[in-house]
Amino acid sequence: MNKFWTIASHTFLTKAKSKTFIITTAITLAMILLVGNIQSIINAFSDNGKDKVAVIDQSQSYYPMLKDSMAKNDDIELVPFKESIEKAKEAVKDDKYDALLELRTNEAKLPAATFYANNIASSSIQEHLQEKIQEIKTAIATNQAGLDQETVQKIYAPVEFDKVALDKSAKTEEELNQARGIVYIMLFILYMAVMLYGQIIATDVATEKSSRVMEIIISSVSPITHMFAKISGIAALGLSQIILIVLAGYAMVTMKKSELVGGVFEFFGIQHASVKIFIYAIVFFLLGFLLYATLAAMLGSLVSRVEEAGQMVMPMTLLIVAAFMIAMFGIGMPDSKFVTVCSFIPFFSPMVMFLRIGMLDVAFWQVAVSLVILIVTIVVMAIIGAKVYRGGVLMYGRSNAWKGIRKAIQLTKNE
């Protein structure tokens, strides 16, 4: 047991002190800091937070209506321009104004407009102006048709469309929104963790083989102990990095709570997610990581050079990508039969079953069956992986996955 902890701690400390780990962690924390302060940064680079738009009203009547309509908009400032349109264009080119809006009356005696800007790639200003001018046009057109404003409001009022689940155990729209955030986060964390640390495990094993260090290691410790110690060390490294990132994100959200109200944070509703969701997130994350880490160590033991590790773990990568794509599809259709079936397939269940738990009220027996299948698969993979690893660490030369697995198992039997 001492040898197990020695290898695990050595793996953890070696990787934790590496430049790659330190740099990637620092970059991720810097990105969290940047996202949390993005609004402050945008405001720092803006003059007064408003876009100045020069307005030339050829109709002599639309500007007051547009001004009133834009009164509550704090991002755009309308400025009447009394000189010629050519001088207004020059003022925009000289950055005295962000844009120029020309208002006129078309042949149908309705409002029309032309928008001028140095660059029309940014659509926020013109979208706001177009929306307000459309409202003015609608009001004038309906008035010309003899319709009163109350009738127009009734016509354009959103239809009442209530959603009621007949199943009393089904989640409400609010509960779905509250679960959606943690589901998204869990899926991305599991996907990135397995992709990154699975590759690290396979590469680390291949590195030791290529440097012939493996021959020294297995003379003092069993390959099985070495494999699981390696998985444990890198798993601890991954969890440490994830916990650090999550704590940094939580601290940023807490400090910037007043600035992050509404929008995506309100849509996700992470702060209102139930404790059960977090518990299942941890359980499925750990089991999913353990399953793929065992597979990565097994495949990594079959290669002799570090350059071959990426190609050898390609089947595992495809499984992870497939699971992630199914989960993304399931976000919109969590109750489909395809998603339900995939939630019981062990290589997909860490993501897909967790998705169903978050978005639906899944019967406990289904969750239990999925967990049992996943745990049994991990045990089977561990047994097979141990046999393959035991023979694989002694194999040198080129080999593909299937032939390598058979050859490694045969070497283990011959010992």
Mean pLDDT of the chain, nearest integer: 76
Task: Using pLDDT thresholds of 50, 70 and 90, give the confidence band for residue 376.
Answer: very high
Domain boundary among 125, 156, 187: 156
Residues 113 and 226 in one domain: no
Residues 108 and 194 in one domain: no
Encode pLDDT of 94-141 as tens digits. 888 888 888 888 888 888 888 888 887 666 788 888 888 888 888 788
pTM > 0.85: yes or no: no
d(CA 132, CA 5): 67
Residue-wise over 146-159: b if at least 16 C-beta within 10 A, else e?
eeeeeebeeeeeee
Give the pLDDT score at 267. 46
pLDDT at 308 over 50: yes
Q: Give 233 or 173, the one with higher predicted confidence.
A: 233
pLDDT above 90 as % of the chain:
5
* 3-state secondary structure (DSSP) of residue 347: coil
CATH number for 114: 3.40.190.10
Residues 201 and 332 in one domain: yes
pLDDT at 366 over 50: yes
The answer to whether residue 369 is domain-embedded is: yes
CB 349 within 8 A of CB 374: yes
Task: Using pLDDT thresholds of 50, 70 and 90, give the confidence band for residue 409.
Answer: low
Domain boundary among 132, 156, 180: 156
d(CA 45, CA 49): 9
Domain boundary among 129, 156, 183: 156
Residues 181 and 58 in one domain: no
- Residue 104, phi then psi, degrees to nearest 5: -155, 175
Task: Using pLDDT thresholds of 50, 70 and 90, give the confidence band for residue 344.
Answer: very high
Residues 289 and 259 in one domain: yes
The answer to whether residue 5 is domain-embedded is: no
The answer to whether residue 40 is domain-embedded is: no
The answer to whether residue 255 is domain-embedded is: yes
The answer to whether residue 340 is domain-embedded is: yes
Q: Which residues share a beta bridge with 113? A: 103
Give the pLDDT score at 332. 78
Residues 266 and 377 in one domain: yes
Residues 140 and 67 in one domain: yes
Tokens of 276: 């059960």
Residues 115 and 261 in one domain: no
Q: Give 256 or 241, the one with higher predicted confidence.
A: 241
Q: How many domains would you assign to the chain?
A: 2
Residues 288 and 345 in one domain: yes
Residues 150 and 182 in one domain: no
Work out the average pLDDT over 222-231.
Answer: 74
Encode pLDDT of 11-57 as tens digits. 888 888 888 888 888 888 888 787 767 666 666 665 555 788 888 88
The set of residues, in sequence order, having a beta carbon less than 8 Å from that of 15 and lying 6+ positions away, is 21, 200, 204, 233, 234, 237
Give the pLDDT score at 174. 61
Give the pLDDT score at 263. 45
Q: Give 61 or 275, the one with higher predicted confidence.
A: 61
Least confident among 77-91, 167-181, 188-202, 252-266 = 252-266
The answer to whether residue 95 is domain-embedded is: yes
Residues 203 and 323 in one domain: yes
Work out the average pLDDT over 387-406.
Answer: 57
Give the pLDDT score at 373. 94
> Which range has highest mean pLDDT (3-7, 213-217, 278-282)?
278-282
The answer to whether residue 28 is domain-embedded is: no
> Residue 101 is part of which domain span?
49-156
Work out the average pLDDT over 196-223.
Answer: 67
The answer to whether residue 15 is domain-embedded is: no
pLDDT at 10 over 60: yes
How are the residues of the chain apportioned to helix, strand and coil, as percentages rounded to the nearest 5?
70, 5, 25
Encode pLDDT of 60-105 as tens digits. 888 888 888 887 776 788 888 888 888 888 888 888 888 888 888 8
> Which range has highest mean pLDDT (213-217, 269-273, 310-314, 373-377)?
373-377
Residues 233 and 311 in one domain: yes
Q: Give 90 or 391, the one with higher predicted confidence.
A: 90
